[in-house]
Homo-oligomer: A and B are copies of this chain.
Amino acid sequence: MITETLARIRPADVAAAQTAQAGLDAKTKPRGSLGRIEELARRIAAIRGTPTPGRLAAAVVVAAADHGVAGEGVSAYPQEVTRQMLANFESGGAAVCVLARAAGASLHVVDAGVGHPTANIVLGPAMSRADAEEHVTRGIALAGELARDGAGIVALGEMGIANTTSAAALSAALLPADAALVCGRGTGLDDAGLARKIDVVRRALAVNIVDPADPLLVLAALGGFEIALLCGVALGAAEERLVVLLDGFITGAAALVAARLAPETVDFMVAAHVSPEPGHRLVLDDLGLDPLLDLGLRLGEGSGAALALPLLHASLAVLEDMATFDSAGVTDACR
């Protein structure tokens, strides 16, 4: 299934973007004056393959999983919080639940391995290649289901105690970058915790086979299950021509793996925000994505993606509903 999906991912439609921009240029506003909102409308037109994408329904996918590396003391929170938060997602009290509701998006919580942690990456691979393929495949299938259910935008979110360590290790391997440049404080590490985390990433990179030419093996080596699943969602969404709205550093790492497997996947991505995690900016730069928001968000869950959704909807409303100079009788010519 992965091979077939990779083969079916096509670049976005540049002609649709150009026609959409011509439509925007006919609207009653100085050309380009809506800045990145116009850029968003163009990008969504290219993704959807039409200059008139209309309005799009949005689905937020939150994948949760546990990480063996949590035993190394790389998170400020104990591992049981992953399961507790899974319950919180399901009862609607977590931030992403509130923010997805506010944005009118559906929420899809996926247990990708809560209570069944990956192996500890400082000792060897997080999972087997077969495990990685299974989770990527599951993500691809989920994107297909969401497309069939009418979603036009899929926002990626995650939960997993210690998963910024996994994201840091993946980024260090795939960018590549030094461990110290991609490790941050996550949800609240102190200086000693941060130093430990950098050391853990270095050891994980030393003990595992991390050949960037084999991104799936890197993914299997450094984990986690939720990142593999979200990588699959990104690939499947690109295949289905859905907008892939990235959240923070961990979804960025999943996107990076997807981009290494199929570079055209990046055409379908929009970066919702940039977080204070130092690796996040590096990943977005590598992907060539300019984040929409910079609000100091470091929660994850897809919360930043949900906060950016109204900007995507607004760009589509502008494209669809604004009057043209002709229809409104407004003078377009400069003197």
Give the residues in chain B near A292, CB-CB below 8 Å.
295
Number of copies: 2
CB pair B188–A314 under 8 Å, yes or no, is no
CB pair A303–B34 under 8 Å, yes or no, is yes
Choice from B94, B276, B297, B331 contacting A80 with Cβ under 8 Å: B331
Bound together, the chains give a CA A321 to CA B88 distance in angstroms of 12
- Smallest CB separation, A200 vs chain B (Å): 16
Give the residues in chain B near A76, CB-CB below 8 Å.
30, 334-335
Cβ of A29 < 8 Å from any Cβ of B? yes
Bound together, the chains give a CA A80 to CA B185 distance in angstroms of 56
CB pair A299–B34 under 8 Å, yes or no, is yes
CB pair A330–B84 under 8 Å, yes or no, is yes
Give the residues in chain B near A329, CB-CB below 8 Å.
84, 87
Choice from B294, B299, B322, B335 contacting A93 with Cβ under 8 Å: B322
CB pair B295–A37 under 8 Å, yes or no, is yes
CB pair B323–A30 under 8 Å, yes or no, is no
**A330 to chain B: closest residue by CB:** B84
Cβ of A78 < 8 Å from any Cβ of B? yes
Bound together, the chains give a CA A323 to CA B85 distance in angstroms of 11
Stretch at the interface among A1-9, A96-104, A143-151, A239-247: A96-104
A267-307, CB under 8 A of B: which get 1 and which 0? Answer: 00000000010000000000000001111111100010011
Give the residues in chain B near A36, CB-CB below 8 Å.
295-297
Interface hits, A81-128 → B, CB 8 Å: 81, 84-85, 87-88, 91-95, 98-99, 101-103
Given A93-B322, A103-B310, answer yes or no on A334-B34 (Cβ-Cβ < 8 Å).
no
Given A187-B33, A295-B292, A303-B34, answer yes or no on A91-B311 (Cβ-Cβ < 8 Å).
no
Cβ of A192 < 8 Å from any Cβ of B? no
CB pair A94–B322 under 8 Å, yes or no, is yes
Cβ of A317 < 8 Å from any Cβ of B? yes
CB pair B84–A322 under 8 Å, yes or no, is no
Give the residues in chain B near A87, CB-CB below 8 Å.
328-329
Choice from B101, B296, B314, B322 contacting A307 with Cβ under 8 Å: B314
Bound together, the chains give a CA A117 to CA B76 distance in angstroms of 62
CB pair B331–A78 under 8 Å, yes or no, is yes
Give the residues in chain B near A92, CB-CB below 8 Å.
323
Bound together, the chains give a CA A331 to CA B317 distance in angstroms of 42
Bound together, the chains give a CA A293 to CA B40 distance in angstroms of 15
Q: A28-B95, A84-B331, A307-B310 are in contact. List 11 more A-B contacts (CB 8 A).
A: A28-B88, A35-B298, A36-B296, A77-B334, A80-B331, A87-B329, A94-B328, A98-B318, A99-B318, A102-B317, A188-B334
Show 20 A/B contacts (Cβ-Cβ < 8 Å), sorted by A: A29-B94, A33-B298, A33-B299, A34-B297, A36-B296, A37-B295, A37-B297, A73-B335, A76-B334, A80-B331, A84-B331, A87-B329, A88-B323, A93-B322, A98-B321, A99-B318, A102-B310, A293-B293, A307-B311, A307-B314
Binding site for B on A (CB under 8 A): 27-31, 33-37, 73, 76-78, 80-81, 84-85, 87-88, 91-95, 98-99, 101-103, 187-188, 276, 292-299, 303, 306-307, 310-311, 313-314, 317-318, 321-323, 327-331, 334-335
